[in-house]
Homo-oligomer: A and B are copies of this chain.
Amino acid sequence: MNNFSFHNPTKIIFGEGQISALAKLLPVDARILFTYGGGSIKKNGVYDQVIKALAGKTFFEFSGIEPNPHYETVLKAVEIAKGKKIDFLLAVGGGSVIDATKLIAAAINFAGEPWDILAKNSPIKSALPIGCVLTLPATGTESNGNSVITKFSTHEKLAFGNSLVYPQFAILDPTTTYTLPPRQIANGVVDAFVHIMEQYLTYPVNAKVQDRFAEGLLLTLIEEGPKVLTQPNDYAIRANIMWAATMALNGLIGVGVPQDWATHALGHEITALHGLDHAQTLAIVLPTLMSQQRTTKREKLIQYGKRVWGLTNSDEEKLIDVAIAETKNFFEKMGAPTTFSGYGIKDSLTSTLIEKLIQHNSLPIGEHRDITAEVATKILTAAA
Interchain CA distance A12-B220 in the complex, whole Å: 27
- With A209-B244, A209-B247, A236-B1 as contacts: A14 and B255 at CB distance below 8 Å: yes
A256–B14 touching, CB < 8 Å:
yes
A15 in complex: contacting residue of B4, B219, B247, CB < 8 Å: B4
A208 in complex: contacting residue of B5, B15, B224, CB < 8 Å: B224
Interchain CA distance A216-B256 in the complex, whole Å: 17
Distance to closest chain B CB from A381 (angstroms) = 36
A12–B5 touching, CB < 8 Å:
yes
Chain B residue nearest in CB terms to A10: B7
Q: Is A122 on the interface with B (CB-CB < 8 A)?
A: no
Chain B residue nearest in CB terms to A16: B3
Chain B residue nearest in CB terms to A13: B5
A207–B240 touching, CB < 8 Å:
yes
- With A3-B18, A6-B11 as contacts: A216 and B220 at CB distance below 8 Å: no
- With A216-B215, A256-B15 as contacts: A1 and B243 at CB distance below 8 Å: yes
Interchain CA distance A67-B292 in the complex, whole Å: 55
Q: Is A8 on the interface with B (CB-CB < 8 A)?
A: yes
Contacts of A207 in B (CB 8 A): 239-240, 243
B15–A7 touching, CB < 8 Å:
no
Q: Is A17 on the interface with B (CB-CB < 8 A)?
A: yes
Q: Is A213 on the interface with B (CB-CB < 8 A)?
A: yes
B1–A6 touching, CB < 8 Å:
no
What 0/1 readout, one digit per residue, does chain A (216-253) give for beta carbons within 8 Å of chain B? 11011001100000000000100110011001000010
A14 in complex: contacting residue of B4, B206, B236, CB < 8 Å: B4
What 0/1 readout, one digit per residue, does chain A (1-40) give for beta carbons within 8 Å of chain B? 1111111111111111110000000000000000000000
Contacts of A215 in B (CB 8 A): 212, 216
B6–A9 touching, CB < 8 Å:
no
Interchain CA distance A219-B208 in the complex, whole Å: 9
A220–B243 touching, CB < 8 Å:
no
Distance to closest chain B CB from A178 (angstroms) = 16
A1–B219 touching, CB < 8 Å:
no
B3–A14 touching, CB < 8 Å:
yes
A1–B240 touching, CB < 8 Å:
yes
B240–A206 touching, CB < 8 Å:
yes
Interchain CA distance A211-B217 in the complex, whole Å: 10
A5 in complex: contacting residue of B6, B14, B213, B247, CB < 8 Å: B14
Distance to closest chain B CB from A57 (angstroms) = 21
Contacts of A8 in B (CB 8 A): 8
Contacts of A212 in B (CB 8 A): 212-213, 215-217, 219-220
A7–B12 touching, CB < 8 Å:
yes
Distance to closest chain B CB from A174 (angstroms) = 8
Query: Top 9 nearest A-B pairs by Cβ distance?
Result: A212-B216, A3-B15, A7-B11, A206-B236, A208-B220, A6-B12, A1-B239, A208-B240, A209-B243
10 sampled A-B residue pairs with Cβ under 8 A: A2-B15, A3-B15, A9-B9, A206-B236, A208-B219, A209-B217, A212-B212, A212-B216, A212-B217, A213-B213
Extra contacts, 7 of them, besides A5-B11, A239-B256 (Cβ < 8 A), are A1-B15, A2-B15, A3-B14, A5-B13, A9-B9, A208-B219, A209-B247
